[in-house]
Amino acid sequence: MHTAKRLAPYRRKRDFAVTPEPADVPASPRSARGAAFVVHLHHARARHFDFRLELEGTLRSWAIPKGPSLDPAAKRLAVQVEDHPLAYARFEGRIPAGEYGAGKVWIWDRGTWTAPGNAAQALQKGQLRFTLRGQRLRGEWSLVRTRFAGRQPQWLLIKVADAAARAGDVADDVPLSRWGKRRGAAPVGRPHKAVRARAEAQARG
């Protein structure tokens, strides 16, 4: 599908005279290491994460209520939402009250992703296996479309068991709000006190 057509729902929902979100669709300088991915933490009416993969000129997007998990046992519901423009991968800010998705948006993770074969076709079929190279999310993942009833397609985001898999919940273990206030100085992979204490106790044997 043509980029402008894929982005029509995104544009329709927003008033770009009011929201600071990007309206333009700049060409993306494609990285040799793969296309971009970004995870936003979105403090909208219900706090959630937005998972976005660059594909064929737009960011395919899913809203994940509980956020991604590095634990292969945790299958996270991911509701597919409208494609976003590529420029959204760099967006952070506050969407004004009354606008669609009103609330603060922080970048929670970013990096590149790759998939063997034709990713667009795999998504069409409802099953994508891919690799993330982010600061928090790494390794192999899969997105599987379910038959759950819903207004929008309901998927599951699942961590494949590999060296990047972790027990626990990365979405809870990291002090996200502090990271948000200190952009650029991300305490990536630095677990909060309780987790650190547990790790130190284990190290002491």
Q: Which stretch binds Mn ion (CB under 5 A): 12-20, 50-58, 138-146, 177-185?
A: 50-58
Report the residue number, 50 or 109, with the smaller CB distance to Mn ion: 50
Nearer to Mn ion, 41 or 115 (CB): 41
Of residues 47 and 129, the one with the C-beta less far from Mn ion: 47
Q: How far is the CB of 28 from Mn ion (least distance, A)?
A: 21
One of 42, 52, 60, 159 touching Mn ion (CB under 5 A): 42
Beta strand residue intervals within the chain, DSSP E: 35-43, 47-55, 58-64, 75-84, 93-95, 103-114, 127-134, 138-145, 154-159
β-bridge partners, 155: 78, 145
Part in contact with Mn ion (CB under 5 A); list of ranges 11-19, 38-46, 159-167, 185-193: 38-46
Closest distance between Mn ion and the C-beta of residue 79, in Å?
10
Q: Quick check: 85 and 10 in contact, CB under 8 A?
A: yes
DSSP string, 114-144: E-SS-HHHHHHHTEEEEEEEESS-EEEEEEE
Contact flag: residue 50 with Mn ion (CB under 5 A) = yes
Q: Which residues contact 107 (CB under 8 A, 6 or more apart)?
A: 38, 39, 40, 41, 90, 91, 92, 183
Q: Are 139 and 165 in contact (CB under 8 A)?
A: yes
Residue 42 vs 138, nearer CB to Mn ion: 42
Q: Read off the amino acid at residue 18.
A: V
Compute the least distance from the CB of residue 46 to Mn ion, in Å.
Answer: 9
Using CB under 5 A, which of the segments 28-36, 44-52, 142-150, 158-166 binds Mn ion? 44-52
Binding stretches for Mn ion (CB under 5 A): 42, 50
